């Protein structure tokens, strides 16, 4: 694994890789003031580490917050986009990354995406493959077409969603009506 920025000292003389690591660990534990210190250290060190700070916050929003707050990446990206509309030297600039840090520190956290990504990467590297169940071979694949699968199979098998949202009987009836109409219209297209 490559260690980034180990050769750069922050404005107070800390190794940048250590401050970057501290930022992430402080956010993981919800230690807001310590995380704000680490973010500010990176910002004061210069433009390159300010950009890296934003990249790290975006990764943290997925790696450490994950499904604990699924909208976290959108919030961080929005704050980053706002920051790009003002000079880095502007007195209000720091408010944006500090707000991002505070937000991430208060989010519920879980690391499932990080763990799953690491395991799947290694499974593929080691030659393991996912089992391919029958329902994936639908009208959208050559094998499914060779099996004669059409829109009915797709709607009954391949379009199944789990877990399904509970939208009530009216929504279920409406969707069933749309599915029937789709089957009818697609059959008319092939006649």
pLDDT tens-digit map of 114-147: 999 999 999 999 999 999 999 999 999 999 999 9
**Residue 129 located in a structural domain:** no
55 and 100 together in one domain: yes
Token readout for 38 is 């680490």
**Residue 74 located in a structural domain:** yes
pLDDT of residue 101: 98
If you average pLDDT over every residue of the chain, what do you get? 95
Name the residue among 23, 19, 47 with its Cα closest to residue 35: 23
CB distance 120 to 126 below 8 Å: no
Token readout for 44 is 């004061």
pLDDT tens-digit map of 67-85: 999 999 999 999 999 999 9
pLDDT of residue 3: 76
pLDDT of residue 154: 94
Q: Which domain holds residue 54?
A: 16-113
**How large is the average pLDDT for residues 15-40?**
98
Name the one residue in this structure whose structure tokens are 């500090």: 98
93 and 141 together in one domain: no
């Amino acid at each position: 694994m490559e260690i980034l920025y180990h050769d750069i000292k922050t404005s107070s003389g800390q190794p940048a890789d250590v401050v970057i690591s501290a930022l992430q660990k402080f956010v993981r534990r919800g230690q807001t003031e310590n995380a704000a210190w680490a973010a500010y250290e990176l910002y004061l060190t210069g433009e390159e580490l300010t950009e890296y700070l934003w990249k790290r916050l975006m990764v943290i929003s997925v790696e450490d917050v994950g499904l604990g707050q699924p909208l976290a990446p959108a919030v961080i990206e929005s704050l980053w986009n706002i920051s790009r509309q003002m000079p880095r030297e502007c007195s209000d600039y720091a408010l944006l990354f500090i707000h991002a840090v505070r937000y991430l520190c208060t989010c519920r956290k879980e690391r499932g995406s990080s763990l799953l990504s690491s395991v799947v990467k290694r499974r593929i590297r080691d030659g393991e493959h996912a089992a391919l169940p029958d329902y994936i071979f639908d009208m959208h694949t050559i094998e499914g077409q060779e099996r004669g699968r059409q829109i009915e199979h797709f709607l009954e098998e391949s379009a199944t969603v789990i877990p399904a949202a509970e939208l009530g009987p009216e929504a279920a009836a409406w969707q069933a009506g749309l599915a029937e109409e789709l089957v009818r219209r697609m059959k008319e297209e092939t006649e």
